[in-house]
Amino acid sequence: MSKQINVALIGNPNTGKTSVFNALTGLNQKVGNYPGITVEKKEGICKLPRGVKAHIIDLPGTYSLNASSLDENVVIELLLNKKDKDFPDIAVVVSDVENLKRNLLLFTQIKDLEIPTLLVINMADRMDRKGISLDIDYLEEHLQTKIALISTRKNIGIDKLKNLITNYKDISITPCLNASQIDKTYFDNLRKAFPNQLLYKLWLVITQDVNFGKTSRKEIEAVTNFKTKSKTDLKRLQQKETIKRYQFINNVLKVGQTIDTSQAKDLRSKLDRILTHKVWGYLIFFAILLTIFQAIYDWSGIPMDFIDTVFASLSEWTKNILPSGAFTNLLAEGIIPGLGGIVIFIPQIAFLFLFIAVLEESGYMSRVVFLMDRIMRRFGLSGKSVVPLISGTACAIPAIMATRNIENWKERLITILVTPFTTCSARLPVYLIIIKLVIPEGRLLGLSYQALTLMLLYLIGFGTAVVSAYILDKVMKIKSKTYFVVEMPNYKLPLFKNVALTVIEKTKSFIFGAGKIILAISIILWFLASYGPGEQFNNAENIVKTEYASQNLNEENIQQKIASHKLEHSFIGITGRAIEPAIRPLGYDWKIGIAIISSFAAREVFVGTLATIYSVGSEDVDTITNKMAAEKNPITGGALFTFASGISLLLFYAFAMQCMSTLAIVKRETNSWKWPTLQLVIMTIFAYIVALIAFQFLN
């Protein structure tokens, strides 16, 4: 048997489905998006007994086949479309031993589609503690299936699960119950109208408003015309169907499951009272956040500095070892720094998702979401938006990736669009230079003016994000159900394997998703800064040496002047000159224009660009500040960087979308260039207007 079989992992949220997926696939998995939509698609390969390979798809968590979200639509569309390349040979329904009754509703629905359906009962290690015992033989007989009782935590039952998947043809496809009895006449007529079609599939097509992909359009149109009942009647029939299924499940579990409540040791309710308390809950949450982000800064600083040093050394080594020329320059100044710009984000992404994975695995994240939802709901956001918005203070890239936990598409999209307003660590080099330049030294209540300015910039960013979310919620005409449902899972110790795989997958996702775009734009920026038209660029060395011949400059200073002259007359320098009329009202000159353009690669590039422009050998903050302080306004003859122009520049960077990697990840997460383009245009216009008003008013 060499055929590859398709396996669909299906289950309610928080049943440990991802743990089962990880146990089966290990590192042989990949994450992407379903074509045309933003729902995450996880798939992997599992080696089964007798040389069989299984292609496993971890479908989004769903409570039933009565779709109420984009995630649930994905599940239904796949199960109804036999022409889909991923249509399952076997459906593996993962249930939680403590919530078996609720989980079995979905199981009985999938059985009605006559797909071989295997029931996995997870978290078997908790049975003794919760006083639960199961009669597996009785359950298998009455549910018309095979059952794998497993514990991913203890690695129990995984081999049996693999064997059952291998022998999927032995599993009965007979439905558990006859759901059509809820309205015998209606379903008899439906059966007569379409004698060659599966009855339950027809029922789902009639009641669900979903896109069925490659399923025959003629068939769907013919079926939907059969809606002799009103929407209210159909909804009532759906409710009857659910009641009938639960009656069947209750009868089976009366014999098949025994729960001795006296044995249950419940610490959960005590912890919930503290962690969701209207005062202590918030204090604990913010203390945890403070700890997390302090750890992200502390822990990621060392590896990020190391990465920076390694790529700088690699670039220098490449220049020294290879013969000089265009290719060496491309490699040393374009490709290697571009790769460095991707890799340097890895520590922050890895640490952030490490903490998020631990909070989710432990069950605490659901409590945070519940706690914050009431506040965030007023601004068109979800309680789940809190984590991305606050984690944006480290970096917008992992923060936007963290929005995947928000099921509601409108709330998720709004969160993605406003998250870049929160002040990320990449803005700090820009803020530090400008604050030192234009904010006087002094103290208010023991706090320095410069520290207060920095804190104010953080508060302005977060406040703008929340206000923008409120406006977007009112403006955007996206149909989206706004009810909020969050399940409170049991507290448990995080599984190291799940946490590690989450960190690896999220990091890989960034490197191969956004990384390609970052590298491409880095190379373009290098080309624009390294080449220019005309004599001024091509003959820069002679021009500079002639101009400074009388000043007796040493070789190092001469080379700095040549580099500065070349930059001014390069393509990017010419662009800076071209946009100068547009940025002059903000208090900037062409040099700041170049820094703004080049910092699109990453905000912190602003510092390096200024270092070259002002002929500074290193990126030392004081040196750049002193050089900038000495710059004269060619029109007034006074200092170029005044309090007015400095505040203008700070506000521009606070609001502008000056980060191509963020745009790249927004494109990846929204699966469209529409939203990142709108984000770039609107944020830039807003930043320009605010900076213009600030400069004109303060000037």
Is 25 within any annotated ligand binding site? yes
Is 12 within any annotated ligand binding site? yes
H or E element: which one contains 45? strand 40-47
Bridge partners (DSSP) of residue 92 are 9, 118
**pLDDT above 60 (res 484):** no
Residues above pLDDT 90, as percent of the chain: 21
**pLDDT above 80 (res 218):** no
d(CA 655, CA 110) in angstroms, rounded, equals 49
C-alpha distance from residue 672 to each of 70, 212, 655, 660 (Å) = 17, 21, 22, 15
Q: What is the pLDDT of residue 328?
A: 83
Bridge partners (DSSP) of residue 117 are 91
- 169: its two tokens: 């043809």
Interval 670-689 mean pLDDT: 92
Is residue 52 domain-resident? yes
**In this structure, what are the phi and psi dihedrals at residue 638, rounded to the nearest 5 degrees?**
-85, -170
Report helix, strand or coil for 58: strand
Is 123 within any annotated ligand binding site? yes
Asked if 690 contacts 468 with a C-beta cutoff of 8 angstroms, the reply is no
Interval 203-223 mean pLDDT: 58
Bridge partners (DSSP) of residue 32 are 41
Is 477 within any annotated ligand binding site? no
**In this structure, what are the phi and psi dihedrals at residue 214, rounded to the nearest 5 degrees?**
-85, 0
Is residue 159 domain-resident? yes
**In this structure, what are the phi and psi dihedrals at residue 570, rounded to the nearest 5 degrees?**
-75, 175
Asked if 487 contacts 13 with a C-beta cutoff of 8 angstroms, the reply is yes
Q: What is the pLDDT of residue 366?
A: 74
Q: What is the pLDDT of residue 405?
A: 66
Q: What is the pLDDT of residue 160?
A: 93
Q: Which residue has the tokens 């068109």?
A: 380
Is 17 within any annotated ligand binding site? yes
Report helix, strand or coil for 484: coil
**pLDDT above 60 (res 215):** no
**Cα angle: 514, vertex 689, 621; to 5 degrees:** 60
Amino acid at 239: Q
Name the CA dihedral angle for 95, 98, 100, 101, rounded to a multiple of 10 degrees. -150
Highest mean pLDDT among 315-319, 508-512, 634-638: 315-319
Is 58 within any annotated ligand binding site? yes
Residue 180: CB atoms within 10 Å: 19
Q: Which residue has the tokens 């002679």?
A: 542
Q: What is the pLDDT of residue 202?
A: 82
| Chain mean position to CA 414 | 13
**pLDDT above 90 (res 685):** yes
**548-594 residue pLDDT tens:** 887 777 777 787 788 778 877 888 888 888 888 999 899 888 878 88
Is 96 within any annotated ligand binding site? no
Q: Are strands 40-47 and 29-33 parallel, antiparallel or unpaired?
A: antiparallel
Asked if 23 contacts 158 with a C-beta cutoff of 8 angstroms, the reply is yes
Is 61 within any annotated ligand binding site? yes
Name the CA dihedral angle for 354, 359, 362, 365, rounded to a multiple of 10 degrees. -150
With 0-12 / 13-18 / 19 or more C-beta atoms within 10 angstroms meaning exposed / middle / buried, residue 338 is buried
H or E element: which one contains 521? helix 496-530
Q: How confident is the model at residue 614 (pLDDT cuts 50, 70, 90)?
A: low
Is residue 142 domain-resident? yes
**In this structure, what are the phi and psi dihedrals at residue 40, rounded to the nearest 5 degrees?**
-70, 140
Is residue 596 domain-resident? no
Asked if 630 contacts 622 with a C-beta cutoff of 8 angstroms, the reply is no
Q: Which residues of 24-59 are buried (b: 16+ CB within 10 A; e: fewer)?
A: bbeeebebebbeeebbbbbbbebebeeebebbbbbb
* Window from 28-32, 378-382, 670-674 with minimum mean pLDDT: 28-32
Q: Minimal CA–CA distance to 532: which of 559, 564, 561?
A: 564
Is 11 within any annotated ligand binding site? yes
Asked if 599 contacts 658 with a C-beta cutoff of 8 angstroms, the reply is yes
Quick one: angle between helices 136-143 and 231-256, nearest 10?
A: 150
**In this structure, what are the phi and psi dihedrals at residue 208, rounded to the nearest 5 degrees?**
-110, 135
d(CA 485, CA 47) in angstroms, rounded, equals 37
CATH classification at residue 232? 3.40.50.300
Residue 281: CB atoms within 10 Å: 19
- 214: its two tokens: 């490659």
Residue 20: CB atoms within 10 Å: 23
Asked if 112 contacts 118 with a C-beta cutoff of 8 angstroms, the reply is no
**165-187 residue pLDDT tens:** 999 999 999 998 888 888 888 88
- 265: its two tokens: 């040791």
**24-42 residue pLDDT tens:** 988 766 665 544 444 567 8
Is 39 within any annotated ligand binding site? yes
**287-317 residue pLDDT tens:** 787 677 666 656 777 887 788 788 878 888 8
Is residue 434 domain-resident? no
Is 125 within any annotated ligand binding site? yes
Q: Are strands 90-96 and 257-259 parallel, antiparallel or unpaired?
A: unpaired
653 or 624: whose pLDDT is higher?
653
Is 18 within any annotated ligand binding site? yes
- The HSE-up count of residue 165 (CA atoms within 13 Å, CB side) is 30
* Window from 143-157, 247-261, 420-434, 671-685 with minimum mean pLDDT: 420-434
Domain tally, the chain: 1
Is 14 within any annotated ligand binding site? yes
H or E element: which one contains 31? strand 29-33
267 or 62: whose pLDDT is higher?
62
Is residue 297 domain-resident? no
- 302: its two tokens: 């060392």
Is 301 within any annotated ligand binding site? no
**pLDDT above 80 (res 84):** yes
d(CA 268, CA 493) in angstroms, rounded, equals 13
Is 122 within any annotated ligand binding site? yes
Is 417 within any annotated ligand binding site? no
Q: Are strands 447-448 and 29-33 parallel, antiparallel or unpaired?
A: unpaired
Domain of 18 in residue numbering reads as 1-265
Q: Within 208-279, where are the H helices?
A: 217-224, 231-256, 268-275
Bridge partners (DSSP) of residue 240 are none
- The HSE-up count of residue 432 (CA atoms within 13 Å, CB side) is 15
Q: What is the pLDDT of residue 209?
A: 59
Is residue 150 domain-resident? yes
Is 482 within any annotated ligand binding site? no
| Chain mean position to CA 211 | 25
Report helix, strand or coil for 156: strand
- 446: its two tokens: 């023991």
d(CA 566, CA 333) in angstroms, rounded, equals 15
Q: How confident is the model at residue 618 (pLDDT cuts 50, 70, 90)?
A: very low
Is 505 within any annotated ligand binding site? no
391 or 140: whose pLDDT is higher?
140
Average pLDDT score, the chain: 80
d(CA 444, CA 139) in angstroms, rounded, equals 72
Is 22 within any annotated ligand binding site? yes
pTM of the model: 0.61
Is 60 within any annotated ligand binding site? yes
Is residue 196 domain-resident? yes
Is 380 within any annotated ligand binding site? no
**425-445 residue pLDDT tens:** 677 777 877 888 888 877 776
Amino acid at 460: I
Q: How confident is the model at residue 195 (pLDDT cuts 50, 70, 90)?
A: confident
